[in-house]
Structure 1
Amino acid sequence: MTDSSIMLTIEEGKSEDIAIVPLCVSIAGISYREYEEISADQFMWHIDNGEIPSSSSPTLLDLKEAYDSTDDEILHICMADGLSSSYDSASSYATSPEYVQRVQVINSRTLCMPQQHIVFRARDLAREGKTIPEIVDGIREMIDSAASFLIPEDFDYLRRGGRLSAAAAGIMSILKTVPVLVQSVDGRKLEKLTISRKFDKAIHAVMVALESRGVDLSHRIDVSHAHNKKKAERAIELLRERFPAIEIGLHELGPAFITQGGPKCISIQSVRIVS
């Protein structure tokens, strides 16, 4: 079981034997379950019309329905603690008397595509008949290997999220700089990697960081974007020149992540694929 940070709908999750609880976003005074009640295109329409969004963890009702949908043991793999309250909410709820003996909640320390690959690996191990402790051991290497980089374009979103000061946001907007943020090792926050004047140089900095982390043929790289496909494709072009033998995927971000990274942002992530 996981949350919609893995960028799949509830029905898409069911087809893969994965239960998904959707993250929530609020915009124009209305709260939605992402992917289920609002699409990325619909969400971006509101943003383009000047609406300011916010995001939140899955509702307790959705958690209850997911936990009550089976009498089996549940491994709930949440998106990174610190970047979302999902882990704290699920951990607290799972201590309820009716769930404490059969629901285990773990922090993936990542989000989006690395989280998706981790969840799929956990699903595969469950199909092999592994116990929950064995599954957790089996995905630990993947969790430890995950890396995420963010290249934002709208700095106000980072300012509102407390990831950038108002002064820094203003200066970056005026200078038209291209900042690169990297997820901290513990997964709880975004830190500055570098500030470039050109997009290609920003991607170069990400590639150097990936190499320093030992990204090789055992890894996969994923590039995701918030309605910025052209730049995402340029990022992939540069990455393939540097990592020609590594599989690289292209994806569109969902509403909850757009709320955090801002419209037009680019995310570059890697994870070791264990099989």
Structure 2
Amino acid sequence: MKKICIVTDTASGLTSSEAKVNNIVLVPLSVLVNGKEYQDYFELNYNQLNELLREKSDIKTAQPNLGLLNDVMLNLKSQDYDDILVFTISSKLSGTYQAFILAASQNQMTNVSVVDTGTLVGSQRYVSLCASEMVRAGKSKEEILYSVNRVLHDTVTYLLPENLDQLKRGGRISSRAAALSSMLKIKIGLVLENYGNAFEKFATTRTDEKLFQTIFESMKKEGFNVDTHKVFILHAEGISQMNKLTSSFNKAFPHADYEIFDLPSVIAAHAGLNTCAIQFILKI
């Protein structure tokens, strides 16, 4: 049986303990706070970043530190893996995919396959964990990549920010749009479809429940089926909103397979506190 290593980044939402148990190498993205660089999760955890968001610190995110990434790749090279499979956050949202390709090339590692998942968080986490499970089951690199690529073309992410303030600070929407949304008390939903270029405005409603129902109808149109898809419900300290979303989801899809967990810091840094999200992906 070939020796295969699975690698992903912290946009997956995996914790270090989950990664260790599943033999996954977890590489941190970078978080810049008031100009100072930190390793996401390892040097700046979820609670610390949320506190900085409350303080309205200047927070930006970036691909993994190139020096750190080079060290990671050299360490992997020394372990004589037959294949190294890397599953990154969408290349349309981060430079992480290209950074891994560059690091592999610079270290002459021809056994590295870098997969642009075209997504993030729950779906990225799911394929990384499934790939790890397939390694333990003795599957080949080709079998793993086929299974993963098949489901990555059937995943959609809906983002429900409490407001657009943090997105405005990051330059992802205009100040005028953010101010108008706040003044009119409009609920806004954003969507990232398969390999989408960015989160796009999906719906505007007056109430949370109307926004939830609009999302559920969209999920059906996108082919979501409780028997064939897995769902992730995520939040950044948005417990109340998450509970409302989960309750409505259970009524709409009473037999769905879903998990709930925190939005990673690098996502909350852009979307803001009290943001919720819901994703689905075809099961492997």
TM-score, normalised relative to structure 1: 0.94
Q: Is 1:66 equivalent to 2:72 in the alignment?
A: yes
Q: In structure 2, what is the Cα distance between the partners aligned to 1:250 and 1:131?
A: 31
Matched, 1:187 2:199: no
In 2, Cα distance between the equivalents of 1:12 and 1:58?
Answer: 20
Distance in 1 (CA, whole Å) between partners of 2:182 and 2:58 is: 18
| 2:179 aligned with 1:170 | yes
Question: CA–CA distance in 2 between the matches of 1:83 and 1:111?
Answer: 9
Aligned-partner Cα distance in 1 for 2:171–2:138: 43
Q: Is structure 2 residue 26 aligned with structure 1 residue 20?
A: yes
Q: CA deviation at 1:185?
A: 2.9
Between the aligned partners of 1:97 and 1:30, the Cα distance in structure 2 is 28
**Which of 80, 92, 104 is the equivalent residue of 1:82?**
92
Stretches of structure 1 lacking an aligned partner (at least 5 in a row): none
Distance 1:181 1:9 in 2: 26
Could you say what the CA RMSD is over the residues aligned between the two structures, in angstroms? 1.5
For residue 119 of structure 1, what is the aligned residue in structure 2? Answer: 128
State whether structure 2 residue 278 is matched by structure 1 residue 268: yes
How far did residue 126 of structure 1 move?
A: 1.9
Is 1:224 the counterpart of 2:224? The answer is: no
- 1:106-138 alpha-carbon deviations (Å, 9 max, x no partner): 100110011111111111222233332321111
Counterparts in 2 of 1:60 and 1:71: CA distance versus 1, 3 Å: farther
CA distance in 1, matches of 2:151, 2:70: 28
Q: Hey, what does 2:147 align to over in structure 1?
A: 138
Q: Aligned-pair distance for 1:97?
A: 4.5
Query: 1-side partners of 2:58 and 2:170: how far apart?
Result: 12
How far the C-alpha of 1:9 sits from its partner, in A, is: 2.9
Per the alignment, residue 257 of structure 1 pairs with: 267
- Specify the alignment match of 1:4 in structure 2: 10
Q: How many residues align?
A: 273
Q: 4+ residue stretches of structure 1 with deviation over 6 A?
A: none
Q: What is the aligned partner in structure 2 of residue 43 from structure 1?
A: 49
Q: Does residue 147 in structure 1 map to residue 184 in structure 2?
A: no
With over 3 angstroms needed to count, the CA separation of the structure-2 counterparts of 1:44 and 1:176, relative to structure 1, is same
Give the whole-Å Cα distance in 2 for the aligned partners of 1:36 and 1:105.
23
Q: CA offsets per residue over residues 192-214 of structure 1, 9 Å max, x none? A: 11111111111111101111112
- Any conservation in 1 of the 2:27–2:69 contact (CA below 8 Å)? yes
Aligned partner (choices 33, 41, 52) of residue 39 of structure 2? 33
Q: Is the 8 A contact 1:10 1:21 kept in 2?
A: no
Provide the identity percentage.
Answer: 25
Alpha-carbon contact 1:9-1:36 (below 8 Å) kept: no
Contact 1:224 1:252 in 2 (8 A): yes
